[in-house]
Amino acid sequence: MRTGRRLRLGVLGSGRGSNFVAIADAIEAGVLNAQIMLVASDLADAPILTEATRRGIPTYACPIGRFKTKLEPEIESALARQLQNAEVDYVILAGFMRVVKAPLLEAFPQRIINIHPSLLPAFPGLRSWEQALNARVSETGCTVHWVDSHVDSGPILGQAKVSVLQNDTAESLHARIQLEEHKLFPQVLQSLAEKL
């Protein structure tokens, strides 16, 4: 039986949005007691926005700014206001390729959650699955964690392990990590819903 209140989620992503889809599917299947209030992106043509629209979920695209790795403060403040207006409990980073700065961190203290494709603290940063392959580790995985002011840092909420196979390529390893991400993210969110 489902317990807890329905979580109100805002999802931020820059890419194809397979984690967003996994979360939305888990909600539809009744295994995650949540509602996605808004999907936002720094890229107006990101597939995650198209998929959200297809599912009838409100979307927001940030204006194009001057920077690549962060949002300009005014743009980030406007995004924070959108999320506040949507009255979200948590902001979910699902492949959001900008470093979150003060406007969002201050608007949502201890309420921003990221998924990262490695067993943090190992392999923070970009293309973590490739970092794992190059380091010849036998095991990697994915991590869901609270977001703080550092990159891929913050207290860990959950992790799932993935074995590195002898014939793995960057693509095959990343694909298996993503399969685990799609299970882990909804599970962690449901455990938060049960605590509300």
Residue 94 or 160 having the CB closest to ligand GRF? 94
Position among 9, 12, 13, 112 found at the interface with ligand GRF (CB under 6 A): 13
Helix (H, G, I), strand (E, B) or coil at 187: helix
Q: Is 6 in the site for ligand GRF (CB under 6 A)?
A: no
CB 102, min distance to ligand GRF, A? 21
**Nearest Cα residue to 114 out of 79, 88, 84, 149:** 149
Of 51 and 89, which has the nearer Cβ to ligand GRF?
Answer: 51
Which of 10, 103, 117, 186 is in the footprint of ligand GRF by CB under 6 A?
Answer: 117
The arrangement of strands across the sheet holding 59-61 comes to: 59-61, 34-41, 7-12, 90-93, 112-116, 139-146, 156-163
What are the Cα distances from residue 31, in Å, to 6, 17, 24, 91, 194? 11, 19, 10, 19, 12
Q: CA-CA distance, 190 to 37, in Å (whole number)?
A: 16
Tokens 């949002």 — which residue?
A: 71
82-101 residues near ligand GRF, rule: CB under 6 A: 94-95
Catalytic residue list: 116
How many residues touch ligand GRF (CB under 6 A)? 14
Segment interacting with ligand GRF (CB under 6 A) among 2-10, 13-21, 33-41, 59-67: 13-21
Question: Measured from the CB of residue 86, what is the shortest distance to ligand GRF in angstroms?
Answer: 20
d(CA 81, CA 87): 10
Q: Site residues (CB under 6 A) for ligand GRF?
A: 13, 15-19, 94-95, 115-117, 142, 178, 181
